[in-house]
Amino acid sequence: MLRRRSERDFTVSSAFCERVDLWHATDSMASEMEVSDFMYSLIRLLKPGIVLETGCYTGVTTLRMARALKTNRYGRMATCDVRENLVAEINHASRRRSLPLEAFSESGVELISRFDAIDLAFIDSGGDRQEEVSRVRAKMNRFGVIALHDTAPHHPESRIQNSIDLPWLYMNTPRGLTLFQVR
Ligand SMILES: C[S@@+](CC[C@H](N)C(=O)[O-])C[C@H]1O[C@@H](n2cnc3c(N)ncnc32)[C@H](O)[C@@H]1O
């Protein structure tokens, strides 16, 4: 069982986000739980057919997103990680809970290349996220959403949001989440 801790253990308070103690995460690699909750709600709201995540890690967000698809009774999800043991654990959890989710032991770029059309992408791998965003962008369906994590000013990923010519909305969480929409 992963223990929920205050985000102040992982992110230093800053002028951008002073009350980091209000968010939670299991460790410094897993997304803020509030980001996972948000991705769950986004799937419940938008009813996407094809959902992708790059970098599943321990599956905190992966399993929440897949649960939303199951509740929708529509859509399927693919995720990946370069760590085989993590992928095996996600596939085991997916089978046990009968989720519409498959995890692949490969890079985010490889995962994206499997699909022709995508409705929602959560870009969160430890690989080249700039490359992942530009490749996924070319495959997004109209009104599709790309959610790029770790875009707070102290992360290098913050530079990506200005290099993509799509409208975006910055969600000011401790680590930052930027949503791009394909119109
Ligand atoms: C920040 S963690 C992902 C957190 C997870 N999405 C969540 O919401 O809790 C990044 C993960 O990306 C994996 N990773 C590293 N390089 C990768 C690559 N090129 N493609 C896919 N995953 C990669 C790491 O093994 C790690 O598990």
Q: Is residue 139 part of a domain?
A: yes
- Tokens 């913050």 belong to which residue? 158
Chain segment 24-76, per-residue pLDDT in tens: 999 999 999 999 999 999 999 999 999 999 999 999 999 999 999 999 999 99
pLDDT of 77 over the 90 cut: yes
Tell me, yes or no, whether 6 lies in a domain. no
Model pTM score: 0.98
- Is 116 in contact with 89 (CB distance < 8 Å)? no
Q: By the 8 A CB rule, do 74 and 182 touch?
A: no
Does 14 reside within a domain? no
17 domain residue, yes or no: no
Q: Give ligand 1 pocket residues (Cβ under 6 A).
A: 29-31, 54-57, 60-61, 80-83, 86, 107-108, 124-127
Domain containing residue 83: CATH number: 3.40.50.150
Q: How many domains in the chain?
A: 1
Instruction: For residue 77, give the 3-state DSSP assignment.
Output: strand
| Residue at token pair 């939303």 | 68
User: What is the per-residue pLDDT across 154-179, written as a single tens digit (0 to 9) for each?
Assistant: 998 888 988 898 999 999 999 999 99
Measured N-to-C along each axis, helices 60-72 and 84-96 cross at an angle, to the nearest 10 degrees, of 30
CA distance 70 to 166: 30
Q: Is 15 part of any domain?
A: no
Q: Is residue 11 part of a domain?
A: no
The structure tokens 């969480």 sit at: 173
Residue 28 within a domain: yes
Ligand 1 mean position, distance from CA 89 (Å) = 14
Q: How far is the CA of 182 from the centre of ligand 1 (A)?
A: 24
CA of 116 to the centre of ligand 1 (A): 22
Residue 95 lies in a domain: yes
Domain region containing 114: 23-181
